[in-house]
Structure 1
Amino acid sequence: MSGAEVIVQVLADEGVGVLFGYSGGAILPVYDAVFRHNAEHPRADGNEAMRLVVPANEQGAGFMAAGYARASGRVGVAIVTSGPGATNMVTPVRDSMADSVPLVVICGQVGTAAIGSDAFQEAPVSNIMGACAKHVFLVTDATQLEATVRTAFTLARSGRPGPVVVDVPKDVQNAALPWHGSGELLLAGYRARLRAVEQSVLGDADCGAFFAALMRAERPLIYAGGGVIAAEASAALRAFVDEFGLPVTTTLMGLGSFDSTAPLALHLLGMHGTAYANYAVEDCDFVLALGARFDDRVAGVPDKFAPRAKFIAQLDIDPSEIGKVKPADWHHVGPLRRALERLTAYGRAHGMRPKLGAWHAHVAELKRVHAMNYDRASTLIQPYAVIEAINRHAQGNAIVSTGVGQHQMWAAQYFDFRAPRRWLTSGSMGTMGFGLPAAIGAQFAHPGKLVIDIDGDASIRMNIGELETVTTYGLPLKVVVLNNVGDGMVRQWQKLYFKGRFASSDKSLHRKDFVRAAQADGFAWAQRLERHDALEATIAAFLAFDGPAFLEVMIDPDAGVYPMVGPGASYAQMITGDFIASRAAPAAREPSTSNMF
């Protein structure tokens, strides 16, 4: 087989059914091998055995692969050419690394003899990607190609998931190679560390120490992160909560790990978390952190996070996260699902029943008094009302992707998330332009599900070329643009901390007609909503349309994201706005030296 054929056969063996990528000279052998593979393996349903989705830009391909991975739990695959093809993948790779998303990216590279000579479309992929990816391979020994590609999949999905990049020179793609059908690279150190983590179990003493602290607690709280979803541990979390009654609040990446409509759900915590979740964190005396890293958007000023917590327990697959930000009084490094199941079984067997009636009543009162709210009497279209209207139709079952900005936070706050892998967003990197291509990838992962991209007028501009990808492949994707004529989140900060100097964030002079752009790219249903009284009927028609649909909503340009924990402030000092009840004076709105944007 040629090296290119070896790559494609490994992809087939790994069960890859969808690829995302853009061709070019240095990757042509692989693209040709995909074409021939599909011709040689026809499917009865008429679809290609390995569908190759071509975006408008390689960055789009990376985010499509990431959206596919986030929505399915499988490894997403992107294939791009050398030079600019590879460098356009840097942002999706870093984004996936930051959010622990399993990707395999195969890049074409100039021939091995030309590496380092500044050849046409050469880029030092190993150097560039090495700081962004979980691992990078440059395959200069063709005999190692098969084992390398297979190992890339193992690395991407094992332990803490992440992106793995395989840089393949063109002569390696063309080399004649024997096919082995099995075998991976040794990676002795990684495999030893992985084996130690995966074989780690909670003993009776560990479980006993955990429950001794829990039974002393009066106000215990679970802080669930994206690691719960990555570990497929949502069912185990629900079983634990059903048994012991701990309320649950989730990070942005953890949304969906616990049914947000459940009585003990506190929804989102953190900088733009619900007021009642943040107040519960202020009040709790025991924190169980599950697959969460106490990042700056949640912990803010670490010393002020959960100030009354006498005991912090932490479960994670990554030993580097233990105690990194907040010291842990008890911890376990290992597979999260197995650890939760073990704790549940131990607690049940030993009759552990925390008496939390007063705490449950307190949490219910927090949810009632400090509920999410907004100006419902306004004649302007409120973005929160748009999300609520869509949510009434979706009922927590749609897959929701977002760009980055105010619309992202409104979606996180006002949508219900009843199950994992229905919320796709760029968390740690906060990458504008993520929403549309990620939604495309999710739609390929789940062709029969309702997939909605909630985007902003500034964010969607970043990858607006992918509107054509939606119609090219006939995807029934629903795209919503909440248009406030500018960079809304930046303007909110400028209003609060820079005395209203809207430097570069006001887009009122721009002349983008989003509806015509969508129509030009083939959207048969593309409308602009400008009247509040047409909201419900328009949303219903938009979601009911059988095919790609695009809706631009002209929202109140002064609508803000609240609650908001300002830089250097604690949850007790969060700004709740005019319509959410606060129990304390907000922090002074002065410029801060904090790095938290």
Structure 2
Amino acid sequence: MSGADIILRVLAEQGVDTLFGYSGGAILPTYDAVFRFNEACASHPERQIRFIVPANEQAAGFMAAGYARASGKVGVFMVTSGPGATNAVTPIADCNGDSIPVVLICGQVPRAAIGSDAFQEAPVFNIMSACAKQVFLVTDATKLEQTLRSAFEIARTGRPGPVVVDVPKDIQNWMGVYQGKGTLQFRGYSDRLRMVAKGSDLGEDKRARFFDLLRQSERPLLYVGGGVIAAGAAAELRAFSERYRIPVVTTLMGLGAIPAKHELSLGMLGMHGAACANYAVEDCDFLIAVGSRFDDRVAGGRPDAFAAGARYVAHIDIDEAEINKVKRTHWSHVGDAKHALRSLMEHGAGVQSPAGWLERVVELKQRHGMNYDRRSPLIQPQFVVEKLSEITQGRAIISTGVGQHQMWTAQFFEFVEPRSFLTSGSMGTMGFGLPAAIGAQLARPDALVIDIDGDGSIRMNAGELETASTYGVPVKVLLLNNRGDGMIRQWQRLFYEGRTFVSDKSLHQKDFVMAARADGFRFACRVEAISELEDKLKSFVKFEGPAFLEVMIDENADVFPMVGPGQSYSEMITGPFIPSRRTPEAGHQDAVRLNAADMF
């Protein structure tokens, strides 16, 4: 069969049921193979591979990422050479930053033309190598099948990530034999996987050392990241937390690992984390990091000041490179979070946090919990998210763009389950929310999927509104419109003496509701009065097809708490509605004194 047909055979073998992509000359042989594959499966429609065509290749990548994030399976997208491939760089980098398993299949100019500056030629291997887990340029047609199979294996194993396969057009047209088995051999990678698997059950001495540290501590705290969700370890985390009575703080990527209303959950920590969570980090004496990497949104520019009071730090991570990279540890384990937590629980019994620490945690939540201006006549974005959480009971898959709306969602939506919060964490990519929601909805058709977006972010990929209506994908788009790039404006007010250069969008003329209607949304409306909000939200959620709801929010609403550049958690700005451990006057003065910095 042709190389293109071999690609389809491997995709089917790997359980791929949905492809995302945009056409072009260098990938046409494989696109035609998709058509012929589905035609051959006409009598068995369940075997067919659905193909979704977005408005551009970047959105195809975000759809594949949303599919992977919501399902835990590998997302797949296919693009053509040149601009098709370069448009895919951002989603590949995004998936790499957040450890999301996707496979990108790129068309490439024929092998004989590579290096000749042929039409739509781009050095995909060189470009993608800097931002993908692995990149393959297929130059030996007989290894195409093994390369594709290896791509899936690499994407999903170890620390998950994006894999790129660049396939020249003449290899897609090449005729060869489909073997039905075989992968490429990577000694170093395979050895690392075997070492991690071998060490998944902690030795008795190592387990004993961990519980020795736990017995010595009076204020232990679990610091949980996206690695727990990637490992499918939410149940083990909850069991571990409950057995040893250890409170939990989560990163942005870790939201959903433990229910927001759980008695031991303090919410999100970090730059815009809950004050109670950040103060708990300040107070703890034993920090236990599980599937988290001490990134700058959490540890800031001063890792030494992060959890400065912790006598001991433990770290469990699948990636050895993360151990001691930012914060020095006293106990560490390289392995899968699920197996590590299970192994620890098999050893330790009867060790629990002191009652006084748990009482302090309750007090922190009561005194320094999330809050906002509840008396304003203007619609507060926090109230919108809070009300949506109440209506859905926290049981929805939520995607976001990037900016203030992303943080308000993380702070006020009470997530119940893992894989229910999809956001661009490491890269912070605007335009992520809508295509990711479409991918998630296709992965989990029975789920309620809502994109909570901002007017700045949604502009980046607004063309995907038409994609949702074209394919009848019943995503819900909730637009929080503050007529500007709100997070930029907030920083400009705090650090640039209020000069809102480029961030004020009040002069822009786009009518989002009319745009949604033009793109086929039968439910598309705007809310401008707080009295209308609840009823409109309920109708929006209940609508059976794609739905669009624009809410005109307070343009001056800010995201608090906030840990500014170079600050520690003890210097956190809590804003006017969340009590600080410092006097309000000191907090205000610090906010004014802070200088602009490179760290956003």
What TM bracket, shorter-length normalisation? over 0.9
1:507 maps to 505
Secondary structure of residue in 1 paired with 2:313: strand
Q: What is the identity, as a one-letter code, of the residue corresponding to 1:490?
A: I
1:429 maps to 427
2:73 maps to 74
Residues 1:304 and 2:305 are matched in the alignment: yes
Q: CA deviation at 1:588?
A: 4.2
Distance in 1 (CA, whole Å) between partners of 2:479 and 2:353 is 47
Secondary structure of residue in 2 paired with 1:144: helix
1:453 maps to 451
2:488 maps to 490
Decide whether aligned partners of structure 1 residues 321 and 593 sit closer, same or farther in structure 2, where only a CA change above 3 A counts: farther
1:478 maps to 476
Contact 2:276 2:368 in 1 (8 A): yes
Distance in 1 (CA, whole Å) between partners of 2:353 and 2:479 is 47
Q: CA deviation at 1:545?
A: 1.0
Q: CA deviation at 1:307?
A: 1.2
Secondary structure of residue in 1 paired with 2:463: helix
Q: Deviations over 1:291-336 (max 9, x none)?
A: 1000000011211111110000000000000011110000000111
2:557 maps to 559
Contact 2:314 2:331 in 1 (8 A): yes
Q: Deviations over 1:395-451 (max 9, x none)?
A: 111000000000000000000111110000000000000000000000000111100
Decide whether aligned partners of structure 1 residues 43 and 579 sit closer, same or farther in structure 2, where only a CA change above 3 A counts: farther
Contact 1:297 1:596 in 2 (8 A): no
2:193 maps to 194
Q: CA deviation at 1:241?
A: 1.1
Distance in 2 (CA, whole Å) between partners of 1:41 and 1:261 is 47
Q: Which runs of 5 or more structure 1 residues have no equivalent in the other structure?
A: none
1:37 maps to 37
Q: What is the identity, as a one-letter code, of the residue corresponding to 2:338?
A: R
Q: CA deviation at 1:355?
A: 4.2
Contact 1:26 1:108 in 2 (8 A): yes
Q: Which runs of 5 or more structure 2 residues have no equivalent in the other structure?
A: none
Residues 1:142 and 2:145 are matched in the alignment: no
Q: CA deviation at 1:590?
A: 3.6
Decide whether aligned partners of structure 1 residues 594 and 289 sit closer, same or farther in structure 2, where only a CA change above 3 A counts: farther
1:204 maps to 204
Task: Single out whichever of 579-588 and 483-492 deviates more from structure 2.
Answer: 579-588
Q: CA deviation at 1:589?
A: 3.3
2:64 maps to 65
1:178 maps to 177
Distance in 2 (CA, whole Å) between partners of 1:577 and 1:548 is 37
1:229 maps to 229
Secondary structure of residue in 2 paired with 1:223: strand
Q: CA deviation at 1:43?
A: 5.7
Q: Deviations over 1:198-250 (max 9, x none)?
A: 21131110001000010111110000000001111111111111210100000
1:402 maps to 400
Q: Deviations over 1:494-536 (max 9, x none)?
A: 0000000011100011100000000000000000110111111
Q: Deviations over 1:251-274 (max 9, x none)?
A: 000001111110000110000000
Distance in 1 (CA, whole Å) between partners of 2:478 and 2:305 is 37
Q: For the aligned residues, what is the CA RMSD? A: 1.0
Percent identical residues: 62
Distance in 2 (CA, whole Å) between partners of 1:590 and 1:102 is 43
Distance in 1 (CA, whole Å) between partners of 2:543 and 2:596 is 49
Q: What is the identity, as a one-letter code, of the residue corresponding to 1:101?
A: I
2:339 maps to 338
1:255 maps to 255
Secondary structure of residue in 2 paired with 1:459: helix
Decide whether aligned partners of structure 1 residues 309 and 402 sit closer, same or farther in structure 2, where only a CA change above 3 A counts: same
1:103 maps to 102
2:321 maps to 320
Task: Single out whichever of 94-103 and 533-542 deviates more from structure 2.
Answer: 533-542
1:123 maps to 122
Q: Where does 1:284-299 land on structure 2 (aligned, <5 Å)?
A: 284-299=284-299
Q: 2:580 aligns with which of 579, 582, 589?
A: 582
2:598 maps to 595
Distance in 2 (CA, whole Å) between partners of 1:118 and 1:403 is 36
1:18 maps to 18
Distance in 1 (CA, whole Å) between partners of 2:32 and 2:595 is 55
Task: Single out whichever of 584-593 and 192-201 deviates more from structure 2.
Answer: 584-593
Distance in 1 (CA, whole Å) between partners of 2:453 and 2:267 is 21
